Amino acid sequence: MSSTEVAAQVANMYDTILILDFGSQYSHLITRRIREAGVYCELLPCTQKISELKFKPKGVVLSGSPYSITDKDAPHVDPE
């Protein structure tokens, strides 16, 4: 069983928070703090397609980047 499959099984057993990383220097800190609070969470890149997740997150944290949201090259979440 791959680590992705194991993570999906764990995420389905518990309420899970999804953290989408847009390049923030604090993404790992946010993940650690949420886990220290006793909440299971997964940190994934902002390019992750939500429709391809093998679990349904209870909540989503968007961890920012140094780009302005108005910059044309700024990363965006997949609209699907």
Query: What is the residue-level pLDDT of the chain in tens, covering all 80 positions?
Result: 776 677 778 777 878 999 999 888 899 999 999 999 999 999 999 888 888 888 889 999 998 876 666 777 777 677 66
Alpha-helical (H) ranges within the chain are 3-13, 27-36
For the entire predicted model, the pTM comes to 0.78
- Alpha carbon of 49 to those of 23, 35, 54, 73, 80: distances in Å? 16, 23, 11, 19, 7
What is the spatial order of strands in the sheet that 40-45 belongs to?
A: 40-45, 16-21, 59-63
> Tokens 């980047």, residue?
65
